[in-house]
Amino acid sequence: AQKITQTQPGMFVQEKEAVTLDCTYDTSDPSYGLFWYKQPSSGEMIFLIYQGSYDQQNATEGRYSLNFQKARKSANLVISASQLGDSAMYFCAMREAYSGAGSYQLTFGKGTKLSVIP
């Protein structure tokens, strides 16, 4: 089974509008972390936001917020007031507490390509 599922291969949003990118995850670990990364066409991976499984409040970083619904195992990224520079691939990732020999490896979804329309 996929550990991280991003069901939207591509999304379009009008500039200045808000957009939600979906992410569901699968783990039996009680302690885990969820991350969102942005990958523009230049290729680098840019960290956006982090949510720990025990965090009581949804994480926010500027225009980014994470809609964390633990019971549903979802961690959707919300981008408010979209800008043209937000056009990129967006990846959801998970770090499980007990993933292999004390490793903190991240498991990534396949990504969502966001296009912001002027």
Among 37, 59, 87, 116, binds other proteins (CB under 8 A): 37
Task: State how far the Cα of 80 lies from the Cα of 73, in Å rounded to an integer.
Answer: 22
First-to-final CA distance of the chain: 38
Q: Which residues pair with residue 46 across a beta bridge? A: 38
Among 19, 33, 65, 86, binds other proteins (CB under 8 A): 33
| Measured CA distances, 4 to 41, 49, 111 (Å) | 22, 16, 10
At 61, the amino acid letter reads E
Q: Which two tokens stand for residue 114?
A: 């966001």
Closer CB to other proteins, 38 or 65, in the complex:
38
Between 82 and 101, how does the x/- string for binding to other proteins read (CB under 8 A)? ---------x-x-x----xx
Among 12, 17, 110, 117, binds other proteins (CB under 8 A): 110
At 105, the amino acid letter reads Q
30 contacts other proteins (rule: CB under 8 A) = no
Which residues form the interface with other proteins (CB under 8 A)? Answer: 4, 33, 37, 43-47, 50, 91, 93, 95, 100-111
